Amino acid sequence: MGTSLPASAPQKQRAAQTAARRRRLLEAAVELAHEGGYDAVQMRDVAARAEVALGTLYRHYSSKDQLLLAALADQAGTLRNRLAQRPPRGDRPGDRVADVLRRATRALTREPSITAAMVTALSAPESEAAAAKREVFETLRTIISGAVDGASVPDLDGIVRVLGYVWLATLSAWVGGMVDADEMAADLALAAHLLLD
Amino acid sequence: MGTSLPASAPQKQRAAQTAARRRRLLEAAVELAHEGGYDAVQMRDVAARAEVALGTLYRHYSSKDQLLLAALADQAGTLRNRLAQRPPRGDRPGDRVADVLRRATRALTREPSITAAMVTALSAPESEAAAAKREVFETLRTIISGAVDGASVPDLDGIVRVLGYVWLATLSAWVGGMVDADEMAADLALAAHLLLD
DNA sequence: AGTGTACCTAGAACGCGTTCTCGTTGCCCC
DNA sequence: GGGGCAACGAGAACGCGTTCTAGGTACACT
CB B30 within 8 A of CB B121: no
CB B114 within 8 A of CB B30: yes
The answer to whether residue A5 scores a pLDDT higher than 50 is: no
Cα–Cα dist A160/B53, whole Å: 50
Q: Which nucleotide is nearest to B47 (CA to C1')?
A: D9
Cα–Cα dist A144/A134, whole Å: 15
| Helix A112-122 and helix A93-110, axial crossing angle in degrees, nearest 10 | 110
> CA-to-C1' distance for A3 and C1, Å?
21
SS3 sequence, A130-153?
Answer: HHHHHHHHHHHHHHHHHHHCCCCC
Cβ contacts below 8 Å, chain A against chain B, sum to 108
CB B75 within 8 A of CB B58: no
Cα–Cα dist B173/B167, whole Å: 10
- Residue B160, CA atoms < 13 Å, CB-side half-sphere: 21
The alpha-carbon gap from B119 to the nearest alpha carbon of chain A, in Å, equals 9
CB B131 within 8 A of CB A180: no
User: Which of B93, B92, B72, B108 shows the shortest CA–CA distance to B163?
Assistant: B93
Tell which A residues from 7 to 26 touch B, by Cβ distance under 8 Å. none
The alpha-carbon gap from B163 to the nearest alpha carbon of chain A, in Å, equals 8
**CA B190: distance to chain centroid?**
23
Cα–Cα dist A115/A121, whole Å: 10
> Do A168 and B170 make contact, defined as CB atoms within 8 angstroms?
no
The answer to whether residue A1 scores a pLDDT higher than 70 is: no
For residue A89, the 8-state DSSP code is P
Indicate the Cα dihedral angle B174, B176, B178, B182, nearest 10°.
20
Interface test with B, best of A162, A174, A180 (most B CBs within 10 A): A162
pLDDT in tens, chain B (197 residues): 333 334 344 556 778 889 999 999 999 999 999 999 999 999 999 999 999 999 999 999 999 999 999 999 999 999 999 999 999 999 999 999 999 999 999 999 999 999 999 999 999 999 999 999 999 999 999 999 999 987 678 899 999 999 999 999 999 999 999 999 999 999 999 999 999 98
User: pTM of the entire structure?
Assistant: 0.93
Q: What average pLDDT does range A169-181 have in this prediction?
A: 97
Q: Which nucleotide is nearest to A60 (CA to C1')?
A: C7
Find the CB nearest A175 among B125, B162, B168.
B125
Cα–Cα dist B197/B190, whole Å: 10
Interface test with A, best of B141, B144, B168 (most A CBs within 10 A): B168
Amino acid at A91: D
Cα–Cα dist A39/A64, whole Å: 11
